[in-house]
Amino acid sequence: MSLIQPVSFEAALDAANQHARNYLAQVEGMPVGPALTAAELRQRLNKPLAEQGIPPEEVVHQLGLDAAGGLMQSPGSRFFGWVIGGTLPAALAADWMTTAWDQNAASYSTSPASAMVEEIVGGWLKELLRLPSSASFALVTGCQLAHFTCLAAARHAVLHQRGWDVERRGLFGAPPIHIVTSDLLHGSAERAIRFAGIGTDQIIRLPSDTSGRLPAATLAQALQSIDGPVIVILQAGDVNVGAFDSFRDLIPIAKRHGAWVHVDGAFGLWAAASPRFRHLVADVATADSWATDGHKWLNVPFDCGYAFVADSGVHQAAMAYRAAYISYAKDARDPADWNPEWSRRARGFATYAAIRQLGRRGIAEMIERCCDMAELLTTGIGRLPGAELIQTSPINQGLVRFLDPRPGATAEDHDRRTAEVVAGICASGEAWFSDTVWKGRRAMRISVCNWRTDRDDVDRVIQAVATVVRQRSA
């Protein structure tokens, strides 16, 4: 007798629907941080590996109950940790359908609708982000893989210029590639550099200025002393203060030296979608490649990043592959030609839904509102007794710190105090922030990336922070 019972999907989907809807209805009323310790969570979830299965609706129901205390309420409006976006209703629902459809979005032949939606979405994204309409693109798992995709194209191009075919010969014996960037390079780009086989010893990290920007003279001087293939990585919105390098000044310098210019715009590239903020990315379209995310500021569910490459030929040379058992489209786009993955999730549907839900105007409003809320939070918290504003951001980030009130307190005491207050705020359940080190000192990061965060949330959170600071001073 078969152990696989003939069951329908219905009961399991009903159970999932119920749990998901309850969660979303209650998320604003729940403590923002997880309720359970690691030991408690492990005990709940770590069932013995059973010989016999159980009905699917029972599996889903138990999972809904057991995971509950270990969830971070990051889809809610008072979550400001790291850089984590919320989810728009249309994007979330489209993501559910994506799972139900269970398409392999490798090629047009494996899923025509998935491939067509990606083709359309790529065009919309280029319009929204004001990138060249001729640029090629890939929908990948996140900005990390977008970096990798772009760097693979960059690696191909800078070595091809020197007569080296990296796809065929690899990097052994190739002219060494230099990566020139600022000291604010995000870890995901560093990892992509490792994955691309270039190696972290090849990174030249130039000092950024006090606002986090790479000075033009510093870049020019560094490039002068380098002979050989170069990739310059610039930043559209760094993770701490949302700093934007000046693309207008820096890209021509890099191009004069024959460098490939890649832009990390994980969230900051979205400034281009807002008439109020697009000056921050002036001339960014003159770069060679760009990496950004959907799961941060576009508020689609996780597993969604976008890579763009100005020279589609180079992009395809780095990624495409032909296999005899796959048929390739003549009149449509095959995602696998542009992606590092083979089998892959049809992640275009959620992006398609998000863009259709908001339209150009709605996306601009979401970007602008997040920036306004970040500014209010940063200045509001920075004005509290015992707090200090470190830096507001040109966009949706901000940094503050908390001062040890004891006479003679040292910088280390303020660092410790900052970490304690951040932990206290998170423990209060009223909001969630993460901390960082900025220019050598500990700071609390404020990151607003959720369409749901509004003025009431900001006022409530400033009050909550004031209470924690007061309690810790008593």
Ligand X SMILES: Cc1ncc(COP(=O)(O)O)c(C=O)c1O
434 class by beta-carbon count within 10 Å (0-12 exposed, 13-18 middle, 19+ buried): middle
d(CA 223, CA 183): 16
Nearer to ligand X by C-beta: 264 or 435?
Answer: 264
Nearer to ligand X by C-beta: 266 or 307?
Answer: 266
Return the residue of 41, 83, 336, 464 that touches ligand X, per CB under 6 A.
Answer: 83
CB 390 within 8 A of CB 400: yes
Question: Which residue, 358, 290, 315, is CA-closest to 88?
Answer: 358
CB of 267 to ligand X, least distance (A): 6
CB of 240 to ligand X, least distance (A): 9
Residues 238, 147, 281, 202, Cα dihedral to 10°: 70
CB of 470 to ligand X, least distance (A): 32
CB 192 within 8 A of CB 148: yes
Q: Does 435 bind ligand X (CB under 6 A)?
A: no
Beta bridge partners of 446: 398
Nearest position to ligand X, beta carbon:
142
d(CA 434, CA 397): 12
CB of 142 to ligand X, least distance (A): 3
Binding-residue total with ligand X (CB under 6 A): 13
Nearer to ligand X by C-beta: 233 or 259?
Answer: 233
Return the residue of 233, 266, 310, 425 that touches ligand X, per CB under 6 A.
Answer: 266
Ramachandran bin of 228, using left for φ above 0, alpha for ψ from -120 to 50, beta for the remaining angles: left
Q: Tokens in use for 253?
A: 């310098």
Q: Tokens in use for 293?
A: 């995310």
Question: Which residue, 187, 250, 265, is CA-closest to 220?
Answer: 250
Beta bridge partners of 442: 437
d(CA 398, CA 229): 36
Q: Tokens in use for 386?
A: 């015992």
- Candidate ranges 30-38, 141-149, 386-394, 422-430; the one touching ligand X (CB under 6 A): 141-149
Q: Does 188 bind ligand X (CB under 6 A)?
A: yes
Q: Does 305 bind ligand X (CB under 6 A)?
A: yes
Beta bridge partners of 441: 438
Q: What pairing do the DSSP bridges indicate for beta strands 441-447 and 434-438?
A: antiparallel
Return the residue of 135, 143, 231, 298 that touches ligand X, per CB under 6 A.
Answer: 143
Q: Does 264 bind ligand X (CB under 6 A)?
A: yes
CB of 293 to ligand X, least distance (A): 5
CB 338 within 8 A of CB 137: yes
Return the residue of 74, 114, 144, 351 that touches ligand X, per CB under 6 A.
Answer: 144
- Candidate ranges 13-21, 117-125, 142-150, 224-232; the one touching ligand X (CB under 6 A): 142-150
CB of 467 to ligand X, least distance (A): 29
Strands lying side by side in the sheet with 397-402: 387-392, 397-402, 441-447, 434-438
d(CA 283, CA 401): 34
CB of 12 to ligand X, least distance (A): 30
Nearer to ligand X by C-beta: 60 or 287?
Answer: 287
- Candidate ranges 139-147, 168-176, 245-253, 342-350; the one touching ligand X (CB under 6 A): 139-147
Nearer to ligand X by C-beta: 430 or 435?
Answer: 435
Return the residue of 33, 56, 81, 142 that touches ligand X, per CB under 6 A.
Answer: 142
Q: Does 375 bind ligand X (CB under 6 A)?
A: no
Q: Does 340 bind ligand X (CB under 6 A)?
A: no
Binding mask 221-240 for ligand X (x = CB under 6 A): -----------------xx-
Q: What CA–CA distances, in Å, run from 443 to 56, 391, 400, 414?
A: 46, 10, 6, 9
Binding mask 396-425 for ligand X (x = CB under 6 A): ------------------------------
d(CA 270, CA 351): 14
Q: Tokens in use for 215?
A: 């000075």
Nearer to ligand X by C-beta: 188 or 299?
Answer: 188
Site for ligand X in 196-225 (CB under 6 A): none
CB 292 within 8 A of CB 269: yes
Nearer to ligand X by C-beta: 245 or 368?
Answer: 245
d(CA 409, CA 208): 29
Nearer to ligand X by C-beta: 288 or 293?
Answer: 293
d(CA 397, CA 172): 41
Q: Does 186 bind ligand X (CB under 6 A)?
A: yes
- Candidate ranges 138-146, 160-168, 218-226, 392-400; the one touching ligand X (CB under 6 A): 138-146
Nearer to ligand X by C-beta: 159 or 236?
Answer: 236
Residues engaged in binding ligand X (CB under 6 A):
82-83, 142-144, 186, 188, 238-239, 264, 266, 293, 305
